[in-house]
């Protein structure tokens, strides 16, 4: 059998919009539909909850999947991006699939792609994400799962995942992000996100008619004869509370026609099992508190900082390590950090990812009044952050990019193996982080 690194190397020859400018991104599901037909339509073999939103969609998927597992179902979960290893994107019954399982599925997806190219049909234009999504759906079919929680990669309407017929569609929130693809206003972005809603399905969202984006969701739901289940959220609700409330409503919706399913399944142990790495994740390093969170838009980092301000485990000033994608609102992000971070260290994640140049980011940070320095490497950034936090009696926040967070997790895992007291606070069910495929 072909190894996963070899299959991924072949996949890397395809267009990967995660690592490229998206201004000319494809706006068609035809390649994905062609692949599905050639593979026997594996996406029709399971029931689906389809989740989109600017933030929180991965956590909502994880909570819904954990609840359905607790109810006794075989459950799949598909999400993106991964932090350390590509198999993190495809979960079956709470665990990432084995390298061999993903390699086998991707090999079949690649065969379909090659056949489409030879025949000159739409599947010959499939992207990297199309093939990975197709592989995930093959795995779910072969594993005999009953339900899948599917996270949208970007937007919704033309996302590769939108071939699924989600019985429940979720829009967690709508803020300005990926405006070069999704539109310059929240209304335009809402229109793209609501594209995952199917006729007669149920929409779960906290956005109401008083919100401009919420009105777009309601208009489209009405056209599709879809029922809306709105989630009431307190203005001061934490990120975790918001995600939990949305997931609970999804389970109640499913439970209306499926005995044994409901919000009560999301008890504290189940919530703990659903906790995702890199989202408000606490790590201890030589007695210092390190928080990892992949927030990369202004409104989200504002919520993260607000929640962390209430965390009694964190003491003293915050030393932040930051890297941002080239397409992010750097000025807005830095404004949220200003006044809340004692010292900022800017760096860049892996060169294969389109990152905001560290020198430009530092200049913006300084203009926002942030005490800032540039670290040429991630290792240097973390060494300086630990030193600064230790000297000031503070703690470290790593944020701005899930790619950055994933790389720091890898460093922390190595440190935990060689230094007493260093440990990742992953859920008990989580596997040991696998090495990144090259």
In this predicted structure, what is the pLDDT of residue 213? 93
Q: What percent of the chain has pLDDT over 90?
A: 77
In this predicted structure, what is the pLDDT of residue 180? 55
In a domain, residue 437? The reply is no
Domain boundary among 273, 299, 315: 273
pLDDT tens column, 258-299: 999 999 999 999 999 999 999 999 988 888 999 999 998 899
- Answer whether 84's CB lies under 8 Å from 109's CB: no
Q: What sections of 275-419 are H helices per DSSP?
A: 298-308, 330-337, 358-367, 378-392, 402-418
> Which of 238, 208, 351, 231 lies closest to 303 in space, CA to CA?
238
In this predicted structure, what is the pLDDT of residue 208? 93
In a domain, residue 369? The reply is yes
pLDDT tens column, 145-177: 999 999 999 889 999 999 999 999 999 999 866
**Same domain as 301, residue 260:** no
Is 80 exceeded by the pLDDT of residue 96?
yes
Structural domain that includes position 337: 281-424
**Same domain as 299, residue 163:** no
Q: How many domains does the chain have?
A: 2
In this predicted structure, what is the pLDDT of residue 155? 86
What strands, in cross-sheet order, belong to the sheet with 372-374?
372-374, 343-346, 318-322, 395-399, 288-292, 281-285, 423-424
In a domain, residue 436? The reply is no
CATH at residue 347: 3.90.190.20
In this predicted structure, what is the pLDDT of residue 424? 45
**Same domain as 152, residue 115:** yes
* Selection from 178-182, 327-331, 387-391 with the highest mean pLDDT: 387-391
DSSP secondary structure of 204-248: EES--TTSHHHHHHHHHHHHTT-EEEE----TT--HHHHHHHHHH
**Same domain as 149, residue 92:** yes
Residue 379, CA distances (Å) to 158, 290, 291, 374 in order: 38, 15, 16, 12
In a domain, residue 430? The reply is no
Instruction: Output b/e per residue, 140-178; b: 16+ Cβ within 10 A.
Output: bbebebbbbbbbbbbbbbbbbbbbbebbbbbbbbbebbb
The total of other beta-carbon atoms located within 10 Å of residue 301's CB is 25
pLDDT tens column, 34-54: 999 999 999 999 999 999 999
**Same domain as 315, residue 170:** no
Average pLDDT, the chain: 89
> Which of 297, 421, 410, 431 lies closest to 349 in space, CA to CA?
410
In a domain, residue 242? The reply is yes
In a domain, residue 410? The reply is yes
**Same domain as 233, residue 365:** no
Secondary structure of residue 36 in the 3-state scheme:
helix
In this predicted structure, what is the pLDDT of residue 68? 98
Domain boundary among 273, 294, 320: 273
In this predicted structure, what is the pLDDT of residue 352? 55
Q: Return the ∠ at Cα 282 (arms to 281 and 286), rounded to 5°.
A: 145
What mean pLDDT comes out for the span 215-244? 95
> Within its chain, how far is the Cα of 31 from the centroid?
23
**Same domain as 193, residue 116:** yes
Is 60 exceeded by the pLDDT of residue 378?
yes
- Tokens for 31, please give them: 């390649």
Is 80 exceeded by the pLDDT of residue 423?
no
- Answer whether 152's CB lies under 8 Å from 20's CB: no
Helix %, strand %, coil % for the chain, to 5? 45, 15, 40
**Same domain as 261, residue 357:** no
**Same domain as 304, residue 262:** no
In this predicted structure, what is the pLDDT of residue 285? 86
In a domain, residue 429? The reply is no
Q: What percent of the chain has pLDDT over 70?
A: 88
Q: E strands along 250-349, which residues?
A: 281-285, 288-292, 318-322, 343-346
**Same domain as 286, residue 266:** no
Q: Return the ∠ at Cα 350 (arms to 160 and 60), rounded to 5°.
A: 45
pLDDT tens column, 82-91: 988 999 999 9
**Same domain as 287, residue 249:** no
Domain boundary among 240, 273, 306: 273
**Same domain as 251, residue 291:** no
Residue, of 194 and 435, whose pLDDT is higher: 194
In a domain, residue 27? The reply is yes
CATH at residue 16: 3.40.1190.10
In angstroms, the CA 348 to CA 356 distance is 7
- Tokens for 145, please give them: 């799962």
Residue 320 DSSP one-character state: E
């Amino acid at each position: 059998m072909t190894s996963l690194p070899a299959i991924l190397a072949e996949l890397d020859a395809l267009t990967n919009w995660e690592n490229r400018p998206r201004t000319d991104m494809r706006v068609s599901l035809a390649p994905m539909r062609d692949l599905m037909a050639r593979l026997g339509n594996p996406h029709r073999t399971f029931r689906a909850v389809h989740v989109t939103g600017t933030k929180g969609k991965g956590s909502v998927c994880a909570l819904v999947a954990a609840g359905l597992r607790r109810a006794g179902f075989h459950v799949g979960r598909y999400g993106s991006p991964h932090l350390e290893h590509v198999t993190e994107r495809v979960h079956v019954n709470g665990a990432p699939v084995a390298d061999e399982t993903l390699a086998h599925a991707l090999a079949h997806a690649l065969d379909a792609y090659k056949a489409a190219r030879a025949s000159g049909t739409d599947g010959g234009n499939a992207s990297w994400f199309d093939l990975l999504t197709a592989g995930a759906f093959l795995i779910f079919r072969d594993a005999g799962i009953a339900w899948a929680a599917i996270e949208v990669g970007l937007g919704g309407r033309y996302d590769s995942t939108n071939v699924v017929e989600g019985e429940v569609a979720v829009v967690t929130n709508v803020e300005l992000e990926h405006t070069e693809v999704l539109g310059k206003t929240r209304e335009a972005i809402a229109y793209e996100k609501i594209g995952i809603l199917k006729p007669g399905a149920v929409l779960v969202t906290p956005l109401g008619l008083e919100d401009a984006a919420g009105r777009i969701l309601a208009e489209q739901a009405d056209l599709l004869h879809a029922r809306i289940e709105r989630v009431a959220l307190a203005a001061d609700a934490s990120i975790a509370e918001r995600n939990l409330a949305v997931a609970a409503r999804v389970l109640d919706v499913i439970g209306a026609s499926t005995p044994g399913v409901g919000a009560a399944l999301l008890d504290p142990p189940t919530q703990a099992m659903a906790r995702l790495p890199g989202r408000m994740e606490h790590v201890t390093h030589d007695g210092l508190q390190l928080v990892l969170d992949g927030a990369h838009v202004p409104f989200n980092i504002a919520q993260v900082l607000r929640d962390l301000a209430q965390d009694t485990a964190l003491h003293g000033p915050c030393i932040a390590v930051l890297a941002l994608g080239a397409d992010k609102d750097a000025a807005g992000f830095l404004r949220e950090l200003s006044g809340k971070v004692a010292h900022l260290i800017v760096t860049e994640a892996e060169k294969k990812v389109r990152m905001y140049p560290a020198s430009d980011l530092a200049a913006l940070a300084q203009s926002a009044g942030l005490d800032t320095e540039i670290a040429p490497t991630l290792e240097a950034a973390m060494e300086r952050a630990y030193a600064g936090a230790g000297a000031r009696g503070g703690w470290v926040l790593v944020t701005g990019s899930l790619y950055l967070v994933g790389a720091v997790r890898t460093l922390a895992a190595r440190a935990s193996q060689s230094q007493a007291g260093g440990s990742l606070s992953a859920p008990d069910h989580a596997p040991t982080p696998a090495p990144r495929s090259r």
